[in-house]
Structures are given as structure tokens and as C-alpha cells.
Amino acid sequence: MAQGRPGSASPLWPAGSDSKLSICSRAFGPRFDRTPIFDLDFMRFTKMQGAGNDYVYVDCFQEPVPSDPAALARSIADRHFGVGGDGLILIRPSEQADARMQMFNADGSEAEMCGNGLRCVAKFVYDHGISRRDQLRLETKAGVLSVKVEAANGKVERVQVDMGEPILAAEKIPTTLPGDPVVNSPLTVAGQEFLATCVSMGNPHCVIYTDCADDNLVLGVGPQIETGPWFPARTNVEFIEVLSPTEVRQRTWERGSGETLACGTGASAVCVAGVLTGRTERRLTVHLLGGDLELFWNETDNHVYMTGPAVEVFSGDWPV
């Protein structure tokens, strides 16, 4: 027997009913508890991903701003007991831009910026009619950034983000590693010697070049660098294999989230680090576990431009 929906005539839901299904009946169907829960409210969410860097998005133009977004991030981003994702992003009204992005990592910590997340915010803002301009301004904790959307049949497929100027001053990244800028600075972790190049793209990054970015490095050394004494605000860590002067392979240990399939600010930092160390050129293709990003560090305005995909996966309701 088909299960009814609120507002439809069925054996469970009389016509005109506005009650909500219990979580048990929503998840497992009619052979489980079908008793309606009358006092349960739901928040609408959308799952989106950019090159595999996936977040749960809440449209705060339509939904109330969560009272405890850090706790919500920890629960909703859980890949076993929640929706699953690298974190939570709130799309909020802004007084100085088309929209404001507020993001939280999977551990509940608030982050300054996420390039892949920002591309998805741009897609949501355009596709859902918050603004239909192809040139958008989006507010982040790292500042207001300019975004250009590439749409087909009324839907955004790719987004170019002006990531702004890289920050190279050690105290502003922040890092206590020697050098200003910090380029090929010696770093010893777990008895291993590395050369670290540090860049902030509104959030801190430590770029490590290696011949083989294997699990021992990413999963073993990555978290030790993230929380090490050299980075008072913790850091994101990029492990890079150089394939050619215009092409690299990247794996990222992301601050507060662990390894992610992609990191847009990280790819931007890698583009800068490659030029600073003489390893790669200003135009760079970055291969990540979740897809490719195109980067360009413009010598004229000193800005880094990142282009990549943005995909809406599904929408649903979360109990609050």
C-alpha cells in the first residue's frame, strides 16, 4: 500500500492533513512505525559538490538561520548518521553583495573560505533566482569575491572565481616557519624532512611537493602538519606531484575535515607556490581526486582565478 503524504488523501493521511511523517516511516517505509509526529519541523537543504568537494547547503533567504550552526554541521555532515559532506554552508542575505557564504567544517569549526563551495553558492544563487546576473559578488569571511557563471539552458555548469591576491606574509597566514615569504622552508614531521611553501588564500595552506602523494603522507603526515606548532590557526595541507610545468596532481588534508576530494583555495595556493618555487607556470591544471580545476595567477593584477564545475546533487528535509 502506497504511503501518503501530508495534504493528500490516503489511509494514513486524511485529506487536508498538514502533519509530518515520522523519521522512521520516511526512512524505512510502512512496515515500521507510521505514527505521525505532529511537533517535528524540517529545514530544507540542498547537497552540492564541486569536483567532489561536497557540502550541505541551506538557503537562508527562505529558511531561518540555524541557532547553532556548528552543532548542525557536525550532525548533518556525518557520512554515517547524517546527510554526509565535508561541512555545512549557509547561503545568507548580504548588505554588500548578492549573497553571503558562511561555512562550517565537518567538525563544526567555522572556516574563512572554500573555493569549491563558493562555486556551488554561485550556482545556487543563479539557478534558484536569487540573482540572475552572470557576474556575481559573493561575501565570505575572507572578503567579497567576484564570480562569473557559465550557464547552459538556464543552469550553471561552470564557475570562474576571482580568488583575489595571495597572502604571503608569514604573520598573516599565519605561520611561524622561517622565511617571509615562506618558500621551501625546512619542516621536520615524524622524523621526515619536507620543504614547505605557505600561502593564504583567505585561509592558510602549507604546500608540500613530493614524488608520491600516498596515504602515508596524506593521512599520516597531513594531520600532524595541520595541528603542528608552526600554524597557530591550524592549516590546510596540500601534497603535490608535478607532472609538467602546466600540470600537477594534488591531494589535500583539509583543516577540520580531513582528506577531501578537492580544495579550491588549496589549488589556488598550489598555483602560487609553483611559481614561487619555480616548479610550474602561472596557468596550471590541477588534477584532484574529484576532478580538475583550471588556475591562473595573473601577473597584471596579482589575482588568482579558479575555474571549475558546480553540481546540485539532491535536496531534502532535515529535522530541526
For 33-42, b/e burial (b = at least 16 CB within 10 A) is ebeebeeeee
CA 124 to chain centre: 14
Tell whether residue 298 is among the known ligand binding residues: no
* 114 catalytically annotated: yes
Tell whether residue 110 is among the known ligand binding residues: no
Q: Is 222 helix (H, G, I), strand (E, B) or coil?
A: helix
Catalytic residue, from 120, 198, 206, 263: name it. Answer: 263
Q: Tell me, letter by letter, the H, E, C secondary structure of 63-88.
A: CCCCCCHHHHHHHHCCCCCCCCCCEE
For 252-289, b/e burial (b = at least 16 CB within 10 A) is bbbbbbbbbbbbbbbbbbbbbbbbbbebbeeebbbbbe
- Which DSSP symbol is given to 170? G
Q: Which three cell numbers stand for residue 202?
A: 583567505
Tell whether residue 154 is among the known ligand binding residues: no
Using CA atoms, how far apart are residues 88 and 106, in angstroms rounded to an integer?
A: 7
Contact 29, 14 (CB under 8 A): no
Tell whether residue 184 is among the known ligand binding residues: no
Catalytic residue, from 114, 120, 198, 271: name it. Answer: 114
Tell whether residue 116 is among the known ligand binding residues: yes
Tell whether residue 255 is among the known ligand binding residues: yes
- Alpha carbon separation from 178 to 181, 182, 228 (Å, rounded): 8, 6, 15
* 198 catalytically annotated: no
Tell whether residue 115 is among the known ligand binding residues: yes
The closest alpha carbon to 100, from 125, 67, 77, 76, belongs to 125
Tell whether residue 117 is among the known ligand binding residues: no
Q: Which three cell numbers stand for residue 279?
A: 616548479
Residue positions annotated with a catalytic role:
114, 263
Residue ranges of the annotated binding site for substrate are 53, 105, 115-116, 203, 236, 254-255, 264-265
Residue ranges of the annotated binding site are 53, 105, 115-116, 203, 236, 254-255, 264-265
